[in-house]
A and B are shown apart, each in its own frame.
Chain A
Amino acid sequence: MALLEVHDIHTYYGNIHALKGVSFAVDSGEIIALIGSNGAGKTTTLRTISGLMEPREGSVVYDGEDISGARADTLVAKGISMVPEGRGVFAKLTVEENLDMGAYTRRDSGVKDDLKGAYELFPRLEERRKQVAGTLSGGEQQMLAIARALMSGPRLLLLDEPSMGLAPVLVDGVFDTVQRIANEGVTILLVEQNAHMALQIADRGYVLQSGEVAISDTAANLQQNATVQKTYLGID
């Protein structure tokens, strides 16, 4: 059974019809990539799933429960965690305080172990645990944002443009990490303009175009798809 099902959602910015009936499904343990050009509705889809925006029509079903229109903060406790676009670390708090903040909804005793786990995943962050997050490099901030999202113990991780604004060398590292997180059993929905990298690690992918799903297929097939190659991978 699918962990997340999106049924025909329509989302508006005021009068602007941003999503015109997007549907897709994410199975437990998968990495799903949403690719598409600027303005195709990738981030809007993610914001709708995470509760920051409300769909006017359609429904989002998570783990058998209709969550469309639920408040964003309540979803974190249900196991959906989001890494916002542009990283969004708390610039004036230290690395460790940022990670603590990620575990805000949790009251169980596993937080300490998870903190250790986060440092194992990102040794770089352990070196800098007392450093103020705003002074980290862009790549380190991205690591911190991902590690912080993991601190809430999510089943579904929503990643919004994790490679944005990073040097090419760092992009590889970020995608490696995403792969490793998936191997630990976290389901991942990834929104990416860098279609090339996203399709390399994803199981399946959806191509969004002007607020609609244009193509859906396995990642391997998408990489071979002529339209995708031409439009998103820059291969003629």
Chain B
Amino acid sequence: MELLRSQNLRTAVSLGLLSGAFLLFIGAVGMIEAFHDREVVNDVFSLGQLLLVLAPFAAGYIAAERTGRTRADIMSLLADGLLVGLLTALPTVVLLLFNSDEYRGLLFLSLRGIPFVVATIIAWQLQRQGKERQLVIGSWLAIAALVGIVTFSFALIFEIKGDLRTVLVNINRDWVDVVTFDNRNELITGILTFTFATVAAGIVGSVFRILPPIPRRALMYGLAVTLLAGAFGETVRLILQENLDRATMRELFQRDTMRQRPALALLVVSIAVGYLWARFGQEARTGFTQLEAPRKRVVNGVGMLLFAGVLLMLPWLIGRTLSDVAVTIGIFVLMGLGLNIAIGLAGLLDLGYVTNYAVGAYILAVLTSIGPLGRLDGFFTFWMVIPVALLAAMFAGFVFAVPVLRMRGDYLAIATLGFGEIIGKLAISDWLKPLIGGAQGVQAIPKPIFLGTELKNPEQLYYIVLAASLVTLFVSIRLNNSRTGRQWMAIREDEDVATAMGIDTARAKLLAFTLSAATGGVAGAIFAAKVGTVFPNSFTVFISINVLSLIIVGGIASNPGIVVGAVVLIGMPELLREFSDFRFLMYGALLIIMMINRPQGFIPSKLVTHEVRAAVKAKVAPAK
């Protein structure tokens, strides 16, 4: 107890227990097992095993950072790492023992002992504080009884069921295999191996922190690149196979997994690159800022050209599967840029953005379909309908904006959420069934035809999305710096003061909703043409939430941020498809971690940076 009061020890203990709980959790939900199927480096280690050591490594690193120990007290640093590693292993080891037939009895015994231990510790504390004898004895009895009931019921459940698997389905043989590093039959050996791994990772993590910054950054960069390339092996392979011949591919990859030698080579190269960047990156940046204006423009221009070249060549570079992902990302970039007008610029929290997406998709579907619902017999082409879809979405945005003009903040959000739901119900209703097909949706939507070629592959559709996104990007940059943009900014900050500046807030808000809806309509139309069919279940509240999240994660009111947000939040789940349900768990975890550590988003706009800094300042110095 005395020891626990030491701040540093408490840091190490809490971080260790946290990473231990993390390992226990991802084991219990089946993540370790699922990730074990994905090898990072062929025949060396899997993603599941990587997770096992990554947690104590990170905990050790953070512990060393928080305690701020230097190279001088290397011994305490090592001790911290050791402690973190041990505590990381603890929960999993307990569960392992629980799970084995041999040692379960031992655990039940200790389980029965827990109430007495807990009660005695607390009673001892009370005694030391000089409480009366009766109170001490009374509380001992009360606590022992209370904790006893809880642990006894746990023990009872397990004794009756006899097997953990009935309670925690994922704590099964495969899980044991992964965490014991394939020592299922020699449980003690397995436990020792596992503990050794976590302890080593914890120590490496805490020692890693005190490395001089340049090698540390280089190592970190190299490891991150190699491990990411390994973990996303399938994606990397898809990109490489577009550009390399089959023999080279076989050298590099065993199915979707990197072979050992290329992995090692990648590690060495990326560490070298990381070293050069850490060593000379700062100089390069200061050198750049000191360049004269015309030279700077040249460097910038070359960079822009390269970037534009990559954007134009992208489908050839990444192949069909990833092009498909790129089109989906593009559709969400369009929606993100549109919704950003309402949320980022005008501060109107719109949770019904899916409305515009649905309107665009159904307009395109009904007007161009050559199936039974397309009564116009394919008279309209994709290109003719795009402006119609845009105008229809704008009209929908306008109509829905009128009743909610007087609402602000949370109330507005709930009202728009309601509109989104209404659209979903309308789409599936019998009432509109003759028109848009109810639950059966609209089918047989032809692909766009451009100069005689049918754009049926994602590689070709990519260019439509790219063009639409670039136009939208241009418009939103212009809007941001315009009089109209300023007026939205004023409304976002303070509606009453905006009125006092002579701004017609009702008109400005209507304009924001209407313009914001436009790209949603285009995105919906492209989506419909891409998929070829439109079903009502594509238009749920999750579309609205997704678009909102990508704006927030990327950086609210920041155009580059929205693109990055879409790539991460829409692209990542697509690339993690093989992990099925866990990708949503990871998606959620990413959102939480982002909001805690980087609330301003990946690429924050200048404005939001001010805001976050002001909030931090307010926290540091509350009294004024």
Which residues of A approach B to under 8 Å, CB–CB? 50, 52, 71-77, 81-82, 84, 88-93, 97, 100-102, 104-105, 132, 134-135, 148-149, 152
Contacts of B607 in A (CB 8 A): 92-93
**Shortest beta-carbon distance, A204 to chain B, in Å?**
25
Query: Contacts A73-B504, A92-B607, A134-B610 hold; do A100 and B497 have CB atoms under 8 A apart?
Result: no
Q: Complex Cα distance A161/B162, Å?
A: 75
Contact A73 B494 (CB under 8 A): no
Q: Complex Cα distance A82/B498, Å?
A: 11
Q: Complex Cα distance A149/B500, Å?
A: 8
Query: Contacts A84-B496, A101-B486, A104-B490 hold; do A92 and B501 have CB atoms under 8 A apart?
Result: no
**Closest 7 CB pairs between A and B?**
A76-B502, A105-B502, A88-B497, A90-B493, A72-B499, A73-B504, A104-B501
The binding surface of chain B is classed by DSSP as: helix
Contact B487 A104 (CB under 8 A): yes
Contact A84 B497 (CB under 8 A): yes
Contact A134 B502 (CB under 8 A): no
Contact A93 B504 (CB under 8 A): no
**B489 proximal to A (CB < 8 A):** yes
**Shortest beta-carbon distance, B141 to chain A, in Å?**
58
- Residue from B490, B493, B503 with most neighbouring chain A CB atoms (10 Å): B493
**B399 proximal to A (CB < 8 A):** no
Q: Complex Cα distance A73/B501, Å?
A: 7
**Shortest beta-carbon distance, B609 to chain A, in Å?**
10
Contact B501 A71 (CB under 8 A): no
Contacts of B501 in A (CB 8 A): 73, 76, 101-102, 104-105, 148, 152
Q: List 9 A-B contacts (CB under 8 A).
A: A73-B501, A75-B502, A76-B500, A90-B493, A92-B611, A97-B486, A104-B486, A104-B487, A104-B501
Render B473-509 as a binary contact track against A, CB cut-off 8 A, 1 for contact: 0000000000100110110011011011111110000
- Which residue from A82, A91, A105 sits with its C-beta under 8 Å from B614? A91
Contact B499 A93 (CB under 8 A): no
Q: Complex Cα distance A201/B504, Å?
A: 34
Contacts of A73 in B (CB 8 A): 499, 501-505
Q: Complex Cα distance A75/B607, Å?
A: 30
Contact B614 A50 (CB under 8 A): no
Q: Complex Cα distance A97/B503, Å?
A: 15
Query: Contacts A73-B504, A88-B494, A134-B610 hold; do A52 and B489 have CB atoms under 8 A apart?
Result: no
Q: Complex Cα distance A71/B498, Å?
A: 13
Q: Complex Cα distance A6/B607, Å?
A: 41
Contact A104 B502 (CB under 8 A): yes
Contacts of A101 in B (CB 8 A): 486, 489-490, 501
Contacts of B500 in A (CB 8 A): 50, 52, 72, 76, 81-82, 84, 88, 149
Q: Besides the contacts A101-B489, A135-B614, what 18 more A-B pairs have beta carbons closer than 8 Å?
A: A52-B500, A73-B502, A73-B505, A76-B500, A76-B502, A84-B496, A88-B500, A91-B614, A92-B493, A93-B489, A93-B493, A100-B486, A101-B501, A102-B501, A104-B483, A104-B503, A105-B502, A134-B614
